[in-house]
Structures are given as structure tokens and as C-alpha cells.
Amino acid sequence: MKQALLLLSFTLFTIHLTAQNQFCDDCPATPGAHSGNYQYLSDELEQPTVFPNPAIDFISLKNPGTVQTIRIYNLVGRELRQFEVEMGKRYPVSDLPRGMYLVQMVDQSQNVIKTQRINKR
């Protein structure tokens, strides 16, 4: 079974720009100039994150947002675990062998919000 893993992350920055007339400090802004708020996205928005990493006995979810389900896959793509997300809950991984795993965070519509690699010790 092949699955596409999509990695997206964003951060929201607000930049305030004000146009001023360069010839007169107390004159209105030049025609066609703009004053307003512009928002830009970057890569550090408070997004869902699995921790601790590396994990030993359990994993938890920080900033779950719209995450409904956590799925754990081995590196071959086989689903090993699935958990319904609850605020503050710990999800057991102590019985998984040591190694690398992919954790998919999925919303109610089964859209993958984020995939994160974790190390199990």
C-alpha cells in the first residue's frame, strides 16, 4: 500500500507598512500609496508536534488543533498503531521495537495535516 506523505508548515508574520510623502512630513500620503497590514506565512506556525522525540514509553501531541487521529507507520509504510486524539493524552509505544517511525496526524475528513519522523528507543 503506497501513501503520499505531505509535509507542510507555516508561520504567520504581520508587517505594518505606511506610505509617507517624501517632500512634506505633514502632507497626506502620495496618490496610489498604500497603508495597511500585510500578512505573510512562514514555517513555524504553532502546528501539531509529537513529543518526546526520541520516545521510549509514550508519545504525546502538542498543539493538536484539528488533529483527530494519530497513525504510526514503520519505514516500509505498514500502519502499526492508530489512536484517537484526546487533549493531554499519552499514546503508548513501549512495545514497538527500537527504530525510526512515521507519525501521521489526520483530521476528521481523513486529510493528513502533518507527518513527523520519530525515533523509538
Segments making up each domain of the chain, as ranges:
11-42, 49-120
For residue 44, give the C-alpha cell.
513555524
Question: Do 36 and 17 meet the contact criterion of CB atoms below 8 Å apart?
Answer: yes
Task: List the pLDDT tens digit at each of the 121 positions of the chain.
Answer: 555 554 444 455 555 555 555 555 555 555 555 555 545 454 456 899 999 999 999 999 999 999 999 999 999 999 999 999 999 999 999 999 999 999 999 999 999 999 999 999 9
CB half-sphere exposure, 21, CA atoms < 13 A = 9
- List strands edge to edge, sheet with 69-73: 79-84, 69-73, 99-106, 112-120
Q: How many helices (H) and strands (E) does the chain have?
A: 0, 9
CA separation for the pair 81, 70 (Å, rounded): 8
For residue 71, the model assigns a pLDDT of 99
Q: Which CATH number applies to 49-120?
A: 2.60.40
The burial class, CB within 10 Å (0-12 / 13-18 / 19+), for 98 is: exposed
Question: Do 62 and 49 meet the contact criterion of CB atoms below 8 Å apart?
Answer: yes
